[in-house]
Each structure stands twice: as structure tokens, then as C-alpha cells.
Chain A
Amino acid sequence: MIISIASGKGGTGKTLVATSLALALKDSHKVRLLDGDVEEPNDHVFLKPNISGSQPVFIPVPKIDEAKCTRCGKCAEVCAYNAIAVLGEHVLTFPELCHGCGACSYLCPEKAITEENRQTGVVEWGDAEGIDFVQGRLTVGEAMAPPAIRKVKELGDSDGINIIDSPPGTSCPVVTAIEGSDFCLLVTEPTPFGLSDLVLAVETVRQLGIACGVVLNRAGVGDNSVEDYCRKENIPVLLTIPLETEIARLYSKGITLVEGMSEWKERFVGLYEKIKEIVDARNRSLKR
């Protein structure tokens, strides 16, 4: 089972939900938490894992053998990202623009291009009190998050429960993080900002054909527009977390909700059971 945690808007509580869900389930299930928010990974702040291994994230970028190169310009012509330019007698490469597609090296008529690895981040794994922990970190100054996210997801567990903490937004990093999930939990808050970005997030998960439900965080202040929208769109609100000073205070100190307020453990187990019910029902109807 793969459950991803996403939200259009940032700062709605994805990390809070991902970490508490993992902790609530770890005694009864095999749980792996994958932090796919590689730009700003925060799950480690709360779970303080013992990191036991790591691997660099590479993008293969072109390396040009000037002796073999005839400056024919084929590589520059086929590169969709303007990462190679031929200027007179020189071939210039711009590795930070390269997506690592491999077209230039394959298509070079002189076989003058080989590839070398350029590191753009790292993935790390370890144990957090019985939770298998995996996270990716994009190197500061690097633009492309998806390769690191893909690498994080490669370290998913084929059985057990995988919880993927996704970055905010609705574009390629989010899609990379959540595609292939059995269920996507969308965390939002009851404000016009929360609603506006939830609508975009719902469009994204629907486009990917993933079942979804909502966690409403900081309920109490704001308005009813998120709940009205969910009712209209037939999206279940699976958990409501109130706006409480104590919850905010625990969060600020890097303490998870289920550890700081033990009554929440049961609620997160209940959340998982509701998700499982929806996923099982969906799988049954797909088999038919």
C-alpha cells in the first residue's frame, strides 16, 4: 500500500500528518516513511532517524572529447534544453540545464560524447524507532527535484505500508512524488487560500487517477468553504485537526502530534482504516 500526503498550498500540515500516521501504525504494521519533499525535507526534524546509509543522486551529463569532435553541431541541434552550444571551434556545455536524456551522446556521429555523473542531491535511509525511514535532499542551488524524488521512491517497500510525504504545489515534483500511489491524502486548511489550492490538488490527483481524501487542519478559524467543496465534489474529509495552541507549540518544537498528545494515535489509526476501506473497495471494483 502506498499512501502519499500532498497539498497544493504549502505549510498546511503534510509533515505533521505523515509523521503521526507513520508513528501510529508502526506497532501493528511494517511502515516505511519516504520524505519526497527533497527541496525542504522536514520529517527528519520530527522523527530524528538514525541514518545508516546514503547514495548520491546523479544526472548523467555530456563530456565532450575535443579530439574526436568535428564541431558538426548535431548535439546542440538535438538538445531540447540548450545545454550544449557550438561556438566556432568550441563546444560549450551547461550541465545545470541538462536533464540527462542521453540524446547527444547517442546521436553524436563521431562518438565524441561520453557521459559523466553530476551530483544534484542525496538519498539517505535509516531507522526511526521501528519506522523504515528514507529521505532525499536536493543540493542547495540545484533546480531539478524530480531525479532525487524518483530515487527516493525507488527505495519504497514492495510490501508493508509506504507513506510518501510530497512537496507542495501541483507541478512536476508533486506528480513525480504521488504517481503510482494507491491513495493520496490532501492536507488543507479552512481558508480561501486552502480551498483554492485544494481545488488544484484535487485536479492533479484526478488526472493521475488516484483516489483521494482530505485532512482538514487548523479547523476552527476560517470558513466552511473547504467542507462545502468536499461535500459537493464527494471527497471524504477523513480527519479534522483543530487550531489549538498546544498542537502548534508541539509542532514548533519538532514533536509529533501522536507523541505529544497520545489521544491522537487512535485517530490516526482510524484514518488509516478509512483509507484502507476506500482502497480495498476501489480495488474490488477495478477487478470486476
Chain B
Amino acid sequence: MPEIVVLSGKGGTGKTSIVGSLAALAKGKVLADCDVDAADLHLLLKPKVKQENEFWSGQVAQIDEEKCTECGLCQELCRFNAIKDYKVDPIACEGCGFCSHICPEEAITMPENMSGHWFVSDTRYGPLVHARLGIAQENSGKLVAQVRQEARRIAEEKGLDYIISDGPPGIGCPVISSLSGASLALMVTEPTLSGIHDLERVLGVSRHFGVPAMVAINKYDLNEENSRRIEDYCKDQGIKLAAKIPFDNAVTEAIVRGLPVVEYSDGAVSREIEGLWEVISR
């Protein structure tokens, strides 16, 4: 079953607006919000949560003050500077457990950490799997993997045709977790020098993990010279350019009204996104 993940490298290029519109256009799909750090897709899809699950992942060291003799070995060996004055800084702790293994008094335990929630919801566009990583938590990649696994389960159970997921910005852990094993990465970029720089890096990641990629230029008319550079680059790399979406305030207006732009406006932006869906769903 095809799984399309929307990425960008640079943040704020329009991933969520595009995924929201694809949600309205595509038939027979499950949606997944893999931006577990700063999820926004729910603001467009208005989900009714059917199922809420705790996400337990990783551990944080805990020192039993009664047992601790303040020998200082844990502080000396912790490479993450997470123990100061015989107290654990839970934010700095990486959960490696080294301290718990070496404490001569066995005063350190590693309780499991509840680091977020994930949800299965209904929307008027179909099922949505989304999540909320706790503030300042680690393991976003594992939570993304959980979201994708549930989306796939639902798609198989209901015999759906597509999984469409909204990815996080960047190129690190949650991006790799969103991307690996997907059928297609749609890279949404903008014609700015920083957009191009970031696009090249995220295309490097999809190449590294062997996932085919296509590119959509958002707000292409903001700088047509840069848009041509992106087109040339794609041609050169053998990457299909799937859409050139013009700038239009209607995109922001649609966000303010909590609607996918294709349902808010029938202007050029919507037509181009319809064409985009034709291309990537083939």
C-alpha cells in the first residue's frame, strides 16, 4: 500500500496546508501526523478522538536519597552532565542507565518515562493517527514509528488505498523515522536560498534511505529565478517536479478558518494542489 510522506527540510514551507488539502482530495486513505513535536494537522482536520494511548518510552534516572552516600561516582561517569550535587536533571538525562549499573549502593533506579500520547481519531476526511510528545521529551522518532505503525494497521484493516503523512521539519531522528520504508517522499520547498539549501539536504536523506522523492515548489512566484534554479536542480537530479503552487493569501485565510485550502478557495492554488494529487497518486 502506497505511503506518501510530506517533508521539507526547512520548516514553514506549507507541508501541513498541503497535507490538509490532500486529505480533502484523496479517497480511501488514512492520515498520519508525524510531526509529533509541533503537530498542526488537527487544526485543519478537526478530529474526534476515538482512542487515546499513553506513550511510554525511555527511562530517567532516580536517586534514592536514603541510600545515596554521595560518593560521586555517578556524576563522574555520566557523559551527559545529568547529575549535579547528587541530583538528576531529568531533562539532561539520556536514560542510558550507566549510573544505575555502577552505583555501589544500588541507590539509582531507572523508572519508565511517560513521554507523550498518541491518538486514533475520526475526521470527515477519514481516520487520523496523531500524537503529542511531552514537552522537552526525547524519543520523538519512536513516537513517529508508533504513529506510522498504527496508521498502517488501520489502512490494512479497512482496506484503504493510501497512507498520507505530514512529516516534521529538519533531517534528524523524527524525519528519518517518518521516511524510512515509505513509498514516496514529497518535498515541499519554497524559492528562497535557505529553502533550496534545506531541500538539498533533505533530498540527501531520502536518497540515503532509498525512498523515491518528488518536489513541489510552494509560493513559486515569490522569486521565479530561484524557482527556475530548483527546477533545474530537480531535472539534473532526475527528480520529478510535481507542482508549482503560487503565493496566495487564501492559504493563510484558510488556516485561520480551519479549512483545507482546496475547500476554501477555487483559485490557482487549489487547482495546482489538485494537479499535485494527480501526479503523486499515480
Contacts and interface: CB of A to CB of B under 8 A. Distances in A.
Interface string A165-193: 00111111111000100000000000111
Interface residues of A, number: 57
B134 to A, nearest CB: 9
B223 A169 contact: no
Contacts of B94: 99, 101
A93 to B, nearest CB: 15
A122 to B, nearest CB: 13
Given A170-B37, A200-B38, A193 B101 contact: no
Interface in B126-178: 133, 135-138, 140-141, 168-177
A200 B131 CA distance: 14
Contacts of B256: 191-192, 222-223
A80 interface: yes
A197 B13 CA distance: 15
B136 A11 contact: no
A109 interface: no
A40 B96 contact: no
A38 to B, nearest CB: 8
A81 interface: yes
B101 A200 contact: no
A272 interface: no
Given A107-B102, A168-B38, A204-B135, A80 B97 contact: yes
B136 A168 contact: no
Contact of A252 (B97, B140, B226): B226
B53 interface: no
8 contacts: A8-B37, A39-B9, A78-B101, A80-B97, A144-B172, A171-B133, A175-B136, A254-B194
Interface of B: 8-13, 16, 37-38, 40, 43, 58-59, 77, 79-80, 91-92, 94-98, 101-102, 133, 135-138, 140-141, 168-177, 190-194, 197-198, 201-202, 204-205, 208-209, 222-223, 226, 249, 252-253, 255-256, 258
Interface of A: 8-12, 15, 39-40, 42, 45-46, 78, 80-81, 99-103, 106-107, 138, 140-145, 167-175, 179, 191-193, 196-197, 200, 203-204, 207-208, 221-223, 248-249, 251-254
